[in-house]
Chain A
Amino acid sequence: MASGKSPHAPSWLWVLAPFMASAALLPSYPVIGSGNGLTWSAPWVPGLGFQYALRLDGLSFLFAMLISGIGLLIFIYARTYMAGEPGRVRFFSWLTVFMASMLGLVLSDDVLLLFVCWELTSVSSYFLIGHRHREEGSRAAAHQALMVTGIGGLALLCGLLILSSITGTTRLSEMAGAPGLLGNPLTPAAVVLILAGCCTKSAQWPFHFWLPNAMAAPTPVSAYLHSSTMVKAGVYLALRCHPILSGAPGWGCALAWLGAATALAGTVSALRERDMKRQLAYLTVGALGTLMLLIGLGSEKALQAVVVYLVAHALYKGSLFMLVGGVDHATGTRDASELGGLRKVMPITAGCAMAAAVSLAGAPPSMGFIGKESLLGVVWPATPDRLYALVAYLSGTIMAALALWVALRPFWGPTGKASAKAHESAWSLLCGPVVLSVGSILPALVPGSVEGLLSAAASSALGRSTHVHLSLWHGWGPPLWIGLAALATGWALYGIARRKDAPVLRADFPGPGPEALYTACMKALPEAAARVTLCTQADRLRDAIRTFVVVLTLAVGGTLAVRGPWPALGSIAAHPHEIWICVLIIVTAIAAIRLAERFAIVAVLGATGLGVTMIFVLYGAPDLAMTQFAVETLTVILLALVLHRFSMLETGRSSSGQRAVDLFVASCLGVLMWALASVALHGRQGLSASSQYFSETSLVSAHGRNIVNVIIVDFRGIDTMGEITVLAVAGIGVYALLKARLPKDGQR
């Protein structure tokens, strides 16, 4: 701990990080508001064209303000929330790493820098979800989130690299409108890969399941990473890529369909949960889906609606998560049906929850209402999009019902069984929710306060200037009727939930989903790996050797066949004695595998060695010939000495089929080695540069005429030293083996 005085509460120093970040960002607002961007860059990998390029425009500014501003509130909240928990320093370190990498993500203009920050957010999310690492559930959830977002991150990397190779730049700001982008055959691949990255990060169906499970994290993490910021990284990237890829086939259509599916799947799944955090997480999934749907529609009004909806969601959802965390802290449960009557003891919490819930339900006067009206205003007028209006109506209904459930059920009615010991949260736990709840309502009443900020963001996403007009009154018309109808049916749905006092849907509704598939894959993967390992790395040495030979033959032989050079045959002409030597080696080597009598094998092996010695004699290697001759003599003596002590005859033999397979495999390798030797022999003529050097300096520098000897004792003297050491170690090993007496069986 940094501060020795307060052992329970983490130091205030941590709070400085988000505070400084927001303080540093705010002065640039006038520049951003006037529609300009700030850029900064420094070389990183100049050879590949990568730079530390940062760019602050309207969209980055909006996200950066959300990240640092909500971050500040979260840090203050977490300071109290985490007091008394072990590992606080670790927790705040990762929270700070996350904030920094998230800021880097939204500020980076270089694709590789963006990817690095993207991955860092996944990694810090992993550690934050798994903060209570002694709990099995936390570890599993952290692992799942990392797997899903990590695989998506790899896809994103490929997509971004394809994109930058098509456009010829690594700067996102220079990619829009690059010639040839839309007609390029690789563009669809880039679209699919980038969408995979966005959809895994932003928990789009069918990758959404990791987000509710990530609620195993401490509540500040859920409020910060998994509702307001990190899960919006995918939305951010989709917005960032919108000016670049909106014309590409499939971009808008895929985003809209995935978004609509996610909006429905997320909100419907929320109805089967008991835990308020998980309910809110599923609603987050639904809201993220709605955002993607709007980006997919891609019109000017749609992008305006995106920024409004996005800001509204970040504000009310951050507030609600922190409030649920406060209730959990005070009562020990997050199941609303066990609570009740808390408004008497927790009046501020109850008030904030009401305000945030108004925004979540999309009821006036709130940012959520304006967001929902803008959404309906986009999807209703265009006839082909009316199906999406149905999606918006259904998800709005469920959001309204659960908003009522979360804001009313714990606070009204008779005192619940878990409410007895409750108390109002400390001010530090309340300041975040108060600010965010007020933020959910106030801008709707004073629209001019945020219009500039939102307009700048929408302009960046659209690629041209646009003005976001916030208004609580859009006039009579279908969007208003649909919105009010959603509120009414939401109220009815809340009534059903209230009467059941339990989740509306069964916990297993509607049967196995994508998560079951993920679990099955994660289970099958190690099993398949084990099976492959068993096939290729058998625990019998000769099977391992066979695998090695097959792989070597296929890999090297295949490369040689495809790439060349094709081995030259070379000249057959030779002196008779040379041919006889070669024939001797070949015949004795084949005899060594055919013979069964041990001493006969020793004899033919000796003959093989002598044949090799003769080749050394013939081709200018007297030192080799002498050494080989001496070693060959020793080998024969050693083999004869050892073999007369034991017999090979009692050894079982492999089946004849197995021997045929082995012979075939070994022969294939023989052919490959023949080819390699031919290539080596006929490839380079003359000495290599190092041999040339040794030849020329042998006498001059080392005063020796036998170049081979000079190399051994002088140029590569340390090598020879190593060789002598190996020999000595082998000698000691042999001696020890012969002297050591192992205990017989039964005496161990």
Chain B
Amino acid sequence: MGAWVPVVIGVLYATGFYLMMRRSIVRMIMGLVLLSHGTNLLIFVSGGLRDVVPIIEVGARAPSRPTADPLAQAMILTAIVISFAVLAFALVLAYRSYENIGSDDVDELRAEEP
């Protein structure tokens, strides 16, 4: 499995950035979604891939076996929520600009600028 997850991360970054370089704002936002997935997974693998849940068993004072990295998980938890907030905001922003300008093309947005 160690060879597979990095490939997944690479594909998520490549597709995410490819979408962010498109003219459509909605596609750019979708690129953002893929990019967040890639980044979350990158943080995840940098803690190592272990299948033991970081929970202290009843009766123990500390985990008895090496667990998955709890710090990386805590950071990803924060990142998931924040990226959702950013996504919601960006999406509504795109929607409002579409309403006002009638297009989702960044180049036409530029033409609208005073």
Which residues of A does B touch, CB under 8 Å? 539-542, 545-546, 549, 567, 569-575, 578-579, 582, 585-586, 589-590, 592-593, 598, 601, 605, 608-609, 612, 615-616, 618-624, 627-628, 631, 634-635, 638-639, 642-643, 645-648, 650-654, 662-663, 665-667, 669-678, 680-682, 684-688, 690-691, 694-696, 698-700, 705-708, 711-712, 716, 719-720, 723, 726-727, 730-731, 733-734, 737-738, 740, 742, 744
Contact B56 A542 (CB under 8 A): no
Contact B77 A707 (CB under 8 A): no
Contact B54 A620 (CB under 8 A): yes
Nearest-neighbor residue (CB-CB) of B42 within chain A: A677
Known: A707-B56, A712-B77. A620 touches B50 (CB 8 A): yes
Cβ proximity bits B39-83 to A, threshold 8 Å, 1 near / 0 not: 011101111111111111110111100111111111011101110
Which residues of B does A touch, CB under 8 Å? 1-24, 26-28, 30, 33-34, 37-38, 40-42, 44-58, 60-63, 66-74, 76-78, 80-82, 84-89, 91-96, 98-100, 103-107, 110
Known: A620-B50, A621-B68, A723-B78. A585 touches B30 (CB 8 A): no
**3 nearest A-B residue pairs (beta carbon):** A670-B14, A570-B2, A674-B10
Known: A590-B11, A707-B70. A605 touches B33 (CB 8 A): yes
Contact A615 B48 (CB under 8 A): no
Contact B13 A570 (CB under 8 A): no
Nearest-neighbor residue (CB-CB) of A602 within chain B: B30
Write out the residue numbers on chain B whose beta carbons fall within 8 Å of the beta carbon of A601: 30
**Extra inter-chain contacts (8) besides given A540-B107, A609-B37, A624-B77, CB under 8 Å:** A589-B16, A620-B67, A631-B80, A648-B104, A695-B70, A708-B54, A731-B88, A742-B96
Write out the residue numbers on chain B whose beta carbons fall within 8 Å of the beta carbon of A690: 71
Write out the residue numbers on chain A whose beta carbons fall within 8 Å of the beta carbon of B106: 540-542
Q: How far is the CA of A589 from the CA of B12 in the complex (A)?
A: 6
What is the minimal beta-carbon distance from B70 to any residue of chain A, in angstroms?
Answer: 4
Contact B76 A694 (CB under 8 A): no
Contact B84 A635 (CB under 8 A): yes
Q: How far is the CA of A707 from the CA of B69 in the complex (A)?
A: 10
What is the minimal beta-carbon distance from B7 to any residue of chain A, in angstroms?
Answer: 6
Q: How far is the CA of A522 from the CA of B96 in the complex (A)?
A: 46
Nearest-neighbor residue (CB-CB) of A716 within chain B: B74
Contact A646 B98 (CB under 8 A): yes
Contact B49 A708 (CB under 8 A): no
Contact A663 B69 (CB under 8 A): no
Contact B26 A643 (CB under 8 A): yes
| Contact residue among A638, A647, A669, A711 (Cβ-Cβ distance under 8 Å from B13) | A669
Q: How far is the CA of A680 from the CA of B107 in the complex (A)?
A: 39
Selected A-B contacts with CB under 8 Å, 7 pairs: A570-B2, A648-B104, A676-B42, A678-B6, A695-B63, A705-B56, A707-B54
Contact A691 B91 (CB under 8 A): no
Nearest-neighbor residue (CB-CB) of B74 within chain A: A711
Nearest-neighbor residue (CB-CB) of A710 within chain B: B70
| Contact residue among B3, B8, B9 (Cβ-Cβ distance under 8 Å from A571) | B3
Known: A648-B27, A707-B54. A688 touches B93 (CB 8 A): no
Q: Could you say which of A652, A691, A720, A723 has the most chain B C-beta atoms within 10 Å of its C-beta?
A: A691
Q: How far is the CA of A667 from the CA of B17 in the complex (A)?
A: 9
Q: How far is the CA of A545 from the CA of B54 in the complex (A)?
A: 38
Write out the residue numbers on chain A whose beta carbons fall within 8 Å of the beta carbon of B86: 730
Contact B87 A666 (CB under 8 A): no
Write out the residue numbers on chain B whose beta carbons fall within 8 Å of the beta carbon of A674: 6-7, 9-10
What is the minimal beta-carbon distance from B64 to any residue of chain A, in angstroms?
Answer: 11
Known: A582-B8, A624-B76, A638-B88. A691 touches B69 (CB 8 A): yes
